[in-house]
Structure 1
Amino acid sequence: MNSHQLVSSALAAALSLGLGAAATTAHAAEAKEKCYGITKAGANDCANLSGSHSCAGQATTGTDPAEWKYVAKGTCKSMKGMTAEEAKAAMKK
């Protein structure tokens, strides 16, 4: 095998790995949903609904309706979680 073939093979392998990873990441994002009100303190995934912080891991209390976590699609209700609309309504109470 000459060096041109070797480089071409390596490049093709690298490109195929990158495309496969992108497809896997897109599929994983589709299989998740935000579930509000189920996080433990310090275990939220990102910014909360109330705007008091904008980063993951900054929830100060557990089961706060403003805090969310990604869960497998279709499992939020079984965890006693809420949609964003339900969480907003719970925060107004």
Structure 2
Amino acid sequence: MNTRTKLAALTASAFALSLAASVAHAQEDGHMAPDGQERCYGVSLAGENDCASTGNNSCAGTSTVDYDGNAWKYVDEGTCEDIATPYGPGSLTPVERP
């Protein structure tokens, strides 16, 4: 195998691995955000979450407390951390809530 062929094979392999990792991360729990939206943790009222990372609920509508820090709701991209709750702003990652 010549150098050019090896370089092409390595480049193709790197691209394939990068793409696979990207898809795996986006679908790590089977949920992908709709276009123009992102997950926002700690902003949903009880029973109004889209899903959760861990804890007392597993998916849509199963949160039993308001502003559960493990439960997330889809919101427009760029707005999550501007959403005010009694416990502070929304978060792009799970957050501790009292």
TM-score (norm 2): 0.54
Other structure's SS at 1:29 match: coil
Q: Does 1:66 align with 2:70?
A: yes
Within the candidate set 70, 73, 91, 1:82 is matched to 91
**What is the root-mean-square deviation of aligned Cα atoms in Å?**
2.1
- Matched-pair identity in %: 41
Amino acid in the other structure paired with 1:57: G
TM-score (norm 1): 0.57
Correspondence for 1:41: 46
Residue 51 of structure 1: CA displacement? 4.4
Greater RCO, 1 or 2 (C-alpha within 8 Å, sep 6+): 1
Moved over 2 A (4+): 51-55
Residue 70 of structure 1: CA displacement? 0.0
Larger Rg: 1
Amino acid in the other structure paired with 2:40: C
Other structure's SS at 2:38 match: strand
More strand by share: 2
Other structure's SS at 2:34 match: helix
More helix by share: 1
Q: Which runs of 5+ in 1 are unaligned?
A: 1-27
Q: State the aligned residue count.
A: 61
* Distance across 1 between alignment mates of 2:57 and 2:68: 13
* Distance across 2 between alignment mates of 1:63 and 1:53: 13
* Distance across 2 between alignment mates of 1:55 and 1:77: 22
